[in-house]
Structure 1
Amino acid sequence: MSASPAPSASSPASDRAVALLHALGADGIAHPGGTLLVHLLRVQEQLAAWGARPALQLAGLCHAFYGTDGFPTALLPLDRRTELAAVIGTEAEAIVYLYASCDRRAAYPTLADPGGAVRDRFTGDARVPGPRPRRDLAELTAANELDLARVDPSFREQWGPALLTLLTRLGPLLSRPARSACRTVLAPDPGRSRD
């Protein structure tokens, strides 16, 4: 991925998305490290720091709109997808839907494989996404999980080794900065006592 400028705080799409997040109560939903809104902003910032294109950054900001396989609270029902698309664009909304609908247990083991299917947890359908959607799903997964590992030591302690294994497997789909962050955040701390 080439480095592209992050949507600034004054980006119209980001501003509209944040306003919608406020209107839907994301700033009042508890989430590790603060509120759901704070988490979403950190994920967007992480993707920007890795040089993700604007659509992926917006998807990072909005990735929990329909709930996820790991966070079931939805801000919008699926029959209102066009409302989110009107705010962030169809490309970013499609990434949000892919992330939200992904049955992680079924998809993650083969996501890095060119023929790996992604099962839609809402419909039960499976499809083989192209290279860019697979990279987007992997990069957004890394940004989300690394944020949780950074802000919640108990999450990192419980899930860190499994996440390192998963994100290492997804490494061919991740940008170089994302791969580096995975090692930095999730690698075992050699100075920590194993008593």
Structure 2
Amino acid sequence: MVTADAVTLLRDLGAEDIAHSGGNLFDHLVRVHDRLAEWGADRTLRLAGLCHAFYGTDGFAVALYGLERRAELAALIGAEAEELVYFYASCDRRASYPGLPDEQGEFVDRFSGVRYRPELRLRRAFAELTVANELDFVAVNPLFDEIEAEGYYALFAPWLPLLSPAACGEVERAYG
């Protein structure tokens, strides 16, 4: 029921009309959700994958909801899934990606500027969602080449200890 409600909301908010790599934002979000499901992700992470662009991201500025509507999204998908959506959206990628695999690594919230050390649970979910998101980009982008693959592999190789076995395998297959 929750997933169907989230899908309905995405459609109502016009996600099918927002351009995104490989077509539109709605299709991308569904593909990320489905990839996470194929990897055996729990319901919370799958819902976060389906909704990961609600507040925009460091790499995709379009937001379906403003941050003042976090409680509304939490009421729909659950507080834990919404927390992951916010965590994903808030990531200052340049500042946060390098330290993600390190428990002492800093995460920078791009909305507030706050620097902190997220718990392992959040770092794992973030890594899994990020890899699913980027693998979708690769799958739908015919211009992706070996040079880009090397860059992605350099980014994701240190994250392998955070990833599920299925996600690790996909990283090796796509980028290794």
Q: Fold match, TM over 0.5?
A: yes
What's the counterpart of residue 5 of structure 1? none
What's the counterpart of residue 51 of structure 1? 40
Would the alpha carbon gap of residues 49 and 169 (structure 1) be closer, same or farther in structure 2, given more than 3 Å must change?
Answer: same
Residue of structure 2 aligned with 1:72, choices 49, 52, 61: 61
How far did 1:53 drift? 0.7
Would the alpha carbon gap of residues 15 and 110 (structure 1) be closer, same or farther in structure 2, given more than 3 Å must change?
Answer: same
Unaligned runs of 5+ in 2: none
What's the counterpart of residue 190 of structure 1? none
Q: Conserved in 2, the CA contact under 8 Å of 1:139 and 1:178?
A: yes
What's the counterpart of residue 124 of structure 1? 113
Provide the aligned length of Structure 1 versus Structure 2: 176
Residue of structure 1 aligned with 2:134, choices 117, 134, 145: 145
1:78-135 CA-partner distances (Å, limit 9, x unpaired):
0011111111000000000000000011111010001111100000001111110000
1:24-68 CA-partner distances (Å, limit 9, x unpaired):
110100111111000000000000111111000000000000000
1:176 correspondence with 2:149? no
How far did 1:159 drift? 3.1
AA paired with 2:134?
E
Alpha-carbon distance in 2 for matches of 1:86, 1:159: 39
What's the counterpart of residue 81 of structure 1? 70
Alpha-carbon distance in 1 for matches of 2:59, 2:43: 24
What is the root-mean-square deviation of aligned Cα atoms in Å?
1.1
Alpha-carbon distance in 2 for matches of 1:171, 1:14: 28
For the residue of structure 2 that corresponds to 1:48, the secondary structure is helix
What's the counterpart of residue 100 of structure 1? 89
Identity percentage of aligned residues: 53
How far did 1:146 drift? 0.5
Alpha-carbon distance in 1 for matches of 2:104, 2:149: 27
Residue of structure 2 aligned with 1:111, choices 95, 100, 109: 100
Residue of structure 1 aligned with 2:124, choices 135, 139, 148: 135
For the residue of structure 2 that corresponds to 1:136, the secondary structure is helix
Q: Conserved in 2, the CA contact under 8 Å of 1:149 and 1:156?
A: no
How far did 1:162 drift? 1.3
Q: Conserved in 2, the CA contact under 8 Å of 1:68 and 1:99?
A: yes
AA paired with 2:32?
V
Alpha-carbon distance in 2 for matches of 1:69, 1:166: 16
For the residue of structure 1 that corresponds to 2:143, the secondary structure is helix
Alpha-carbon distance in 1 for matches of 2:91, 2:81: 15
Would the alpha carbon gap of residues 158 and 26 (structure 1) be closer, same or farther in structure 2, given more than 3 Å must change?
Answer: farther
Structure (1 or 2) with the larger CA radius of gyration: 1
AA paired with 2:166?
P
